[in-house]
Structure 1
């Protein structure tokens, strides 16, 4: 992979994530989990390094973005009173 550019980590809250996985589906699924939670600049493809096992991808996260809490897959439950 190319070196990380200073621009990509020039401010607090900016993150570069390098992923190594066994296959494309696993790497892209992991990236999607990140994208569901934070603003990302997604990789469009994975790369393979000759002589190295698996695939790699790089994505960029912006943790400064406001988060919407993940929604449960079922009915919303009210918090128990304190």
Structure 2
């Protein structure tokens, strides 16, 4: 994964979350849970590091904003806006 840069956490309330999970389904479920709590810039996919177990996912959170419930609901139905 690319390094986290200063712009990602430039203000209070901004955060970067890296999820390490056994499989894609688990990592994406964690991301969906985070999206119910705050505004999120979700990852489109997980990544695999050669020689390391499981998958990784990085998403960006903005705790200053409410979650986009439309995106979460659309994601649950299998379509994205």
Higher helix share: 2
TM, length-normalised to structure 1: 0.78
Task: Give the deviation of 1:47 after TM superposition.
Answer: 0.1
* Structure 1 ranges of 4+ moved more than 3 A: none
Residue ranges of structure 2 left out of the alignment (5+ in a row) = 68-81
How many pairs align? 67
Say which one has the larger Rg.
1
Residue ranges of structure 1 left out of the alignment (5+ in a row) = 68-82
TM, length-normalised to structure 2: 0.79
- Partner of residue 12, structure 2: 12
The Cα RMSD (Å) is 1.0
